[in-house]
Amino acid sequence: MTVYAIIGGSGLTQLEGLDIRQSLAVDTPYGAPSAEVQIGEYAGKEVLFLARHGHPHRIPPHRVNYRANLWALKQAGAEAILAVNAVGGIHPSMVTGHFCVPHQLIDYTSGREHTCFADNLEQVTHIDFSYPYSEHLRQQLMAALAAEGVGYSGQGVYGCTQGPRLETAAEIARLERDGCDIVGMTGMPEAALARELELDYACLALVVNLAAGKSTAVIGMAGIEQALREGMETVTSTLARVLKR
């Protein structure tokens, strides 16, 4: 039976309903992860949970120790990762409250520690990253969203920017020309590190705002926080459906 881990993003710093049996402070070659790895029962299944930004939510996207996070989950026994991400909507269908299960991504970040294959290698190591997300995990997420009866897109290109600031309207226009449908700050190097560590990985993205230039309104944290609050119940019930399957 596959051991699932959930990485919670903004709005999901703790997994409501997780019956925690153990909290592990995992020592990794890359330092401390964002938080302890919580191990417990959720939806009748054993699951691991890690808050990407810490608990409380305090670590900005460009400071997350992605290598330590993924290493810690692997060491704790995870075999598959369900990553929850809050994103901005670029494509017209990606309105606030919409869900996306992306099938591709483009990395616009810089300066992040992005690989475990950097030092003390016996040989140079490359990974095939043509298709960054696990297709069978994507299918599970889509089936769960369909059962929830919510609006979702089963495909999308995730553009990952550096943060922590939001993008300019010109930057979003560039991302749109590049083919991006949604924009976030935490999709990379997380997905690539999961591939390096041979962990299946898929993303459940919740659109919490229209990206810069896609609305005349000012992008405010109050609106983003409201969208997170309203979407988290569906996020957690969707994750529960995946685990039950």
Domain-located, residue 140: yes
Contacts of 45 (CB under 8 A, 6+ apart): 4, 243, 244
Element (H, E) at 158: strand 157-160
Q: What is the pLDDT of residues 77-115, one digit of tens each?
A: 999 999 999 999 999 999 999 999 999 999 999 999 999
Average pLDDT, the chain: 94
Whether 8 has a pLDDT exceeding 90, the answer reads yes
Q: What is the pLDDT of residues 12-45, one digit of tens each?
A: 888 888 899 999 998 999 999 999 999 999 999 9
Domain that holds residue 156: 4-117+128-244
Q: In the structure, how many helices (H) and strands (E) does the chain have?
A: 5, 11
pLDDT mean over 121-126: 77
> CATH no. for residue 236?
3.40.50.1580
Domain-located, residue 122: no
CA dihedral sign, ordered 150, 151, 157, 158: negative
Element (H, E) at 108: none
Domain-located, residue 123: no
Q: Residue 230 — very low, low, confident or very high, per pLDDT cuts 50/70/90?
A: very high
Q: What is the pLDDT of residues 201-212, one digit of tens each?
A: 999 999 999 999
Q: What is the pLDDT of residues 50-73, one digit of tens each?
A: 999 998 889 999 999 999 999 999
How many structural domains compose the chain?
1
